[in-house]
Amino acid sequence: MIDFEISPDLAAQRDRVRSFVEAEIVPFERDARLTQHGPSDELRQELVERARTAGLLTIQAPKEYGGWGLSHIEQAVLYEAAGWSTLGPIAMNCAAPDEGNMFLLNKIANAAQAERYLRPVIDGRQRSVFAMTEPGGAGSDPSQLQTTASFDGDRFRINGNKWLITGAHGAKTWIVMANVEPNPHGPDGPTLFVTDGEQPGIVIERIMNTMDRNYVEGHGIVRFADLALDPDSVLGEVGQAFRYAQMRLAPARLTHCMRWLGAAERAQSIAIAHAKTRTAFGKPIGEHEGVSFMLADNEIALHQCRLTIWHACWLMDRGEKARHESSIAKAYVSEELFKVADRCVQVLGGIGISDETVVEMIFRDMRAFRLYDGPTEVHKYAIGRTILR
């Protein structure tokens, strides 16, 4: 049975998160440290400390790490509240890529790896990256992986190029995908490695200029130049990277949807307030059908997106992988929320394209959301293959 009722405890937690974000985090949206490349690490650290003081840091972590041990449905409710500001998830340490990386490391890291690489990220002391995407290579189709790892029986040596590596600058925990070449010492194939970001052989060439500025320190272009790693840097098993990546991506798609639903709600609230007070042709613009219908379309979309997210979460909480449903959610929610943001810009008129409100930033970031963790077209391709099987 699907139960749409939120328990009193969860509702109280949601309200607590929302109040924290409104009071403590929203004022930082005009901070100079929110740059073209996203929040600086300095700004992130200040926000994290505020969440730590409020008892709201990394609430999604397992209880053994001091978190709340949330179900997927509970995450959906609380991440939506955190997403009221695009800085909310950063403060609470439940933003991408760290949130997905923590999930993956908790699943497959051994005890020593978890203590060295996972715990500091959960504690908010350091950031992480997931280095998979390549220019002309792996991305939506990871089978095109070109970064190689040669193994001589003693050490792996990784060489290759990556780009759009979110948060690369300053990150300490690195998860790297590379193709272990055939060798006489053991198995080969696509493999995940975990290492320290300050290792020789990790070269951050530059930070890319992108239309979004939602992620800490932006998106980097990275070169691996003979990065030498011991066998204890292998994350999980050699040759299993694609399986692990899917393990990470299914819930990560949904958490993107949860956070951006909160941002879209924020944009809608600003548009509604404007429509009530801005007048044209003798009455508030919200009383004109053209505007009221846009706001109504937004309300419908927000409601349907929430239900789509909750359904996929419900399946995952039952123990199902829900890859098909998470692809549906990612494709549908990203497209619909972008339309919501676009209509909010339209309702706001001239100020909608300015930084007089946060809507223009939400709009630009929402456009990028249609690409994160797989563009809509790739998800539709996967959905189509599933239904035609």
pLDDT in tens, 173-222: 999 999 999 999 999 999 999 999 999 999 999 999 999 999 999 999 99
Structure tokens at 50: 């505020």
- Span 51-57, average pLDDT: 98
Q: Would you report the helix, strand and coil content of the chain in percent, each value rounded to 5? A: 55, 15, 30
Q: What is the location of CATH 1.10.540.10 in the chain?
A: 8-95
pLDDT of 227 over the 90 cut: yes
With cut-offs at 50, 70 and 90, classify the pLDDT of residue 64: very high
What is the dihedral sign for C-alpha 360, 23, 27, 43? negative
In this structure, are residues 192 and 241 in contact, taking their beta carbons and an 8 Å threshold? Answer: yes
- Domain range 242-388, CATH class: mainly alpha
Structure tokens at 40: 């600086």
Which DSSP letter does residue 350 get? G
Closest CA to 369 of 343, 335, 340: 335
260, amino acid identity = W
CA dist., res. 360 & res. 215, Å (int): 16
With cut-offs at 50, 70 and 90, classify the pLDDT of residue 250: confident
- Span 357-381, average pLDDT: 96
Q: What is the location of CATH 1.20.140.10 in the chain?
A: 242-388
Grouping H, G, I as helix, E, B as strand and the rest as coil, residue 379 is helix
Closest CA to 373 of 235, 256, 277: 256
pLDDT at position 139 is 84
Structure tokens at 383: 């959905």
Span 272-299, pLDDT tens digits = 999 999 999 999 999 999 999 999 999 9
CA dist., res. 352 & res. 362, Å (int): 11
- Span 99-106, average pLDDT: 97
64, amino acid identity = E
Phi, psi of 186 (to 5 degrees): 170, -170
First to last CA, the chain: 28
pTM: 0.96
pLDDT at position 92 is 98
Structure tokens at 348: 């706001």
With cut-offs at 50, 70 and 90, classify the pLDDT of residue 40: very high
Which DSSP letter does residue 360 get? H
pLDDT at position 2 is 78
pLDDT of 243 over the 90 cut: yes
Tally of CB atoms within 10 A around 26: 15
Tally of CB atoms within 10 A around 4: 9
Structure tokens at 92: 């609470």
Domain 8-95 carries which CATH code? 1.10.540.10
- 138 vs 112 pLDDT, higher one: 112
CA dist., res. 239 & res. 242, Å (int): 8
Span 8-38, pLDDT tens digits = 999 999 999 999 999 999 999 999 999 999 9
Bridge pairing between strands 234-235 and 189-196: antiparallel
pLDDT at position 140 is 82
pLDDT of 1 over the 80 cut: no
pLDDT at position 119 is 98
Span 140-160, pLDDT tens digits = 888 899 999 999 999 999 999
pLDDT at position 126 is 97
User: What is the separation of C-alpha 19 from the centre of its chain, rounded to a whole number of angstroms?
Assistant: 22
Q: What is the location of CATH 2.40.110.10 in the chain?
A: 128-239
Structure tokens at 141: 């189709």
Domain 128-239 carries which CATH code? 2.40.110.10
pLDDT at position 3 is 85
Span 318-366, pLDDT tens digits = 999 999 999 999 999 999 999 999 999 999 999 999 999 999 999 999 9
Closest CA to 330 of 277, 251, 263: 251
